[in-house]
Amino acid sequence: MPVNAMPLGFIRGVVPAGLLLAAFLFLAGCAGQQTWASDDAVAAARHVHGGAPELTLVTIMHHTSGNGHHTGLFINGAERVLFDPAGSWQLDKAPERNDVHYGMTSAVGASYYLSHVRESHYAVVQRLRVTPDVAAQAMALAQQAGPVGPARCAISTSGLLQQLPGLGGISRNWHPHRLMQDFAQLPGVITIELHHDDPDVLRKAYQAQEPL
């Protein structure tokens, strides 16, 4: 189900304008397509975020139904990328290869979060510190997974996660909110919620990406 973007003026002047224009032209749901950015574009976008390796599960929740409408996964290892399976999110500064987006700076990540958060939807951000080997394995699996077909965001992400050491207890299912619940049971998970009417939502969108 598509999710409408927040008003552009809400974060104008904080996230670079060039990122905002592209970020708010999409609306992410579960509808993927085959995309393959050039080697030059991917190399130019490469972003080393620093801090500990981590996995960040993002679940877009519907306020009224309590159901999850989309799943994404940030992977921070040798570089920081976003696995956005079956998503339609696009940004020029984040070249895509079959649902893996490169160049995940804090500003680009904030545009991803805030483009999903509005009156009807909020984001649950769950961060988990992992080893460098687990982060590298997650990135390899994400690069092999796409393009993911429509409505398969949660099942593809849960299938990826359950292959990783220490995450085998995650059940493979179609429901983003159930994957979120499984992920919450992992030791060490840090959870942040992003709501459109929170005056600190922008600060929290950046806080959710500070290197661990």
Q: Delimit the domains of the chain by residue range.
A: 8-207
pLDDT at residue 4 above 50? Answer: no
Sheet with strand 96-97: strands edge to edge: 96-97, 100-102, 80-83, 68-76, 54-62, 121-129, 190-194
pLDDT at residue 207 above 60? Answer: yes
Strands 100-102 and 190-194: unpaired
Dihedrals phi, psi of 19, to nearest 5 degrees: -70, -40
Q: Are 89 and 66 in contact (CB under 8 A)?
A: no
Across residues 27-36, what is the average pLDDT?
61
In our burial notation (b when 16+ CB lie closer than 10 A, e otherwise), range 28-65 reads: bbbbbbeeebeeebbeebebebeeebbbbbbbbbbeee
Query: What confidence tier does 2 reach under pLDDT thresholds 50, 70, 90?
Result: very low
Q: 128-154: per-residue pLDDT in tens?
A: 999 999 999 999 999 999 899 999 999
CA distance 52 to 76: 8
Percent of the chain's residues with pLDDT above 90: 83
Return the biggest CA–CA distance within the chain: 43
Mean pLDDT rounded to a whole number for the chain? 88
Q: 85-131: per-residue pLDDT in tens?
A: 999 899 999 999 999 999 999 999 999 999 999 999 999 999 999 99
Q: 91-103: per-residue pLDDT in tens?
A: 999 999 999 999 9
Percent of the chain's residues with pLDDT above 70: 85
Query: What confidence tier does 5 reach under pLDDT thresholds 50, 70, 90?
Result: very low
Whole-model pTM: value is: 0.85
